[in-house]
Amino acid sequence: MRIENMRLFKKPVTINLHKGLNLLVGENGCGKSTVIDAIRMLLNESEFSHKGITAEDFNSSGCAENTSPCRLFIIGVFSELTDEQKVEYLTWLNHNFDARLNVEYLHSTNVRGNYKQKRWGGCSSNSAFDWEPLNDIQCVYLPALRDAERYLRAGRGSRLSRLLTNLSADELKEKRKNKEKMELETEVAAFNHTIEQKTDIERANKLINDSLKESAGSVFAQSTSIRFNELSYERIVESLQLLFSNELDVKEDTAFFSLCENSLGYNNLIYIATILAEFEGLKEKYSSPRILLVEELEAHLHPQLQIKLLKYLSKQAVEHDIQVIITTHSAILAAATPINQIICFNRCKDGISITPISKCKLENDSENFINRWLDATKSMLLFSKGNIFVEGIAEAILVPKLAEIYLKSKGSLGVTSLEDAGISVINLNGIYFQHFIKMYSGYRITIPEQEERETKTAYKERVAEFKKKNSFAEGEFIKVKNINVKCAVITDNDPVDNQEIFINSENGEEVVKKEPATPTKDNCLPSGNPQIYLKEQLENMTDNCRVYSNLKTFEYDLAIESHSNARIMLEIILDSITTNGDIADKAQKYIDEIDKEEREDEFSINDAEMALFILKQIDSSYLGKGLFAQLLCDKIDDSFIVPDYICKAIDFVLGLEENNG
**Sequence spans of domains, the chain:** 2-146+285-348, 154-240, 373-550, 554-650
pLDDT above 90: percentage of residues in the chain: 55
Inform me whether the pLDDT recorded for 227 exceeds 70.
no
pLDDT number for residue 229? 61
Choose the weakest-confidence range: 432-441, 459-468, 649-658. 649-658
Cβ count near 476 (within 10 Å) = 14
CA–CA separation, 118 vs 120, rounded Å?
Answer: 7
Confirm if 279 and 292 have CB atoms less than 8 A apart: yes
Task: Kindly tell me the burial class for residue 56, based on how many C-beta atoms sit within 10 Å of its own C-beta (0-12, 13-18, 19 or more).
Answer: exposed
Confirm if 573 and 617 have CB atoms less than 8 A apart: yes
Q: 104, 42, 39, 36: which is closest to 73 by C-alpha?
A: 104
**What residues does 388 pair with on adjacent strands?**
425, 488
Choose the weakest-confidence range: 21-30, 210-219, 221-230. 221-230
Measured CA to CA in angstroms, residue 496 lies from 262, 481, 484, 525 at distances of 63, 37, 36, 8
Inform me whether the pLDDT recorded for 127 exceeds 90.
no
CA–CA separation, 612 vs 192, rounded Å?
Answer: 93
Mean pLDDT score, 151-165: 75
DSSP states of 16-64 as a string?
-PPSSEEEEEE-TTSSHHHHHHHHHHHHT-HHHHHH---GGGB-HHHHH
Choose the weakest-confidence range: 55-64, 199-208, 277-286, 368-377. 277-286
Helices (H), ranges, 128-168: 131-136, 148-152, 159-167
Confidence of residue 152 (pLDDT cuts 50, 70, 90): confident
Confidence of residue 653 (pLDDT cuts 50, 70, 90): very high
SS3 659: helix
User: What digits encode the pLDDT tens for the residues 362-378?
Assistant: 999 999 999 988 887 77
Choose the weakest-confidence range: 162-176, 393-407, 514-528, 603-617. 162-176
SS3 523: strand
CA–CA separation, 510 vs 659, rounded Å?
Answer: 57
Whole-number CA gyration radius for the chain: 35
CA–CA separation, 15 vs 22, rounded Å?
Answer: 11
CA–CA separation, 456 vs 459, rounded Å?
Answer: 5
pLDDT number for residue 219? 63
pLDDT number for residue 282? 67
Dihedral sign of CA atoms 60, 65, 70, 74 in order: negative
Inform me whether the pLDDT recorded for 146 exceeds 80.
no
Which one has a higher pLDDT value, 403 or 268?
Answer: 403
Half-sphere exposure of 524 (CA within 13 A, CB side): 9
pLDDT number for residue 68? 65
CA dihedral 578, 583, 588, 594 (to 10 degrees): -140
pLDDT number for residue 579? 78
DSSP 377: T
DSSP 357: G
Mean pLDDT score, 86-96: 92
Cβ count near 254 (within 10 Å) = 11
Confidence of residue 62 (pLDDT cuts 50, 70, 90): low
Inform me whether the pLDDT recorded for 221 exceeds 80.
no
Confidence of residue 661 (pLDDT cuts 50, 70, 90): very low
CA–CA separation, 36 vs 404, rounded Å?
Answer: 38
DSSP states of 246-298 as a string?
S-SS--TT---EEGGGS-HHHHHHHHHHHHHHHHHHTTTT--S-EEEEEE-TT
Strand ranges across the sheet with 423-427: 423-427, 386-390, 486-491, 545-549
Tell me, which fold does domain 2-146+285-348 have in CATH? Answer: Rossmann fold (3.40.50)
User: Which of the listed ranges 42-51, 160-169, 526-535, 597-606 does the model predict with the highest average pLDDT?
Assistant: 526-535
Cβ count near 77 (within 10 Å) = 17
User: Which of the listed ranges 38-42, 191-195, 233-237 does the model predict with the highest average pLDDT?
Assistant: 38-42
Mean pLDDT score, 431-450: 95
Summary mean pLDDT of the chain: 88
Q: 322, 317, 363, 323: which is closest to 340 by C-alpha?
A: 363
**What residues does 248 pair with on adjacent strands?**
none
Confirm if 519 and 551 have CB atoms less than 8 A apart: yes
pLDDT number for residue 237? 74
CA–CA separation, 489 vs 139, rounded Å?
Answer: 43
Which one has a higher pLDDT value, 283 or 575?
Answer: 575
DSSP 104: E
Inform me whether the pLDDT recorded for 285 exceeds 80.
no
CA–CA separation, 358 vs 378, rounded Å?
Answer: 19
Mean pLDDT score, 162-173: 79
CA–CA separation, 188 vs 95, rounded Å?
Answer: 55
Q: Where are the beta strands (DSSP E) in 151-276?
A: 243-244, 257-258
User: What digits encode the pLDDT tens for the residues 591-620?
Assistant: 999 998 888 777 778 999 999 999 999 999
pLDDT number for residue 149? 72
CA–CA separation, 95 vs 63, rounded Å?
Answer: 32
Mean pLDDT score, 523-531: 94
- Residue 362's φ and ψ, nearest 5 degrees, are -65, 140
Choose the weakest-confidence range: 27-36, 38-47, 423-432, 600-609. 600-609
CA–CA separation, 606 vs 570, rounded Å?
Answer: 15
User: What digits encode the pLDDT tens for the residues 548-607?
Assistant: 999 999 999 999 999 999 999 999 999 998 777 899 999 999 999 999 888 877 777 899
Confidence of residue 67 (pLDDT cuts 50, 70, 90): low
CA–CA separation, 428 vs 393, rounded Å?
Answer: 9
Buried b (16+ CB within 10 A) or exposed e, 402-412: bbbbbbeebee
pLDDT number for residue 555? 97
Mean pLDDT score, 288-306: 89
Confirm if 228 and 191 have CB atoms less than 8 A apart: yes
* Amino acid symbol at 291: I
**What residues does 343 pair with on adjacent strands?**
24, 356
Which one has a higher pLDDT value, 374 or 156?
Answer: 374
Which one has a higher pLDDT value, 199 or 247?
Answer: 247
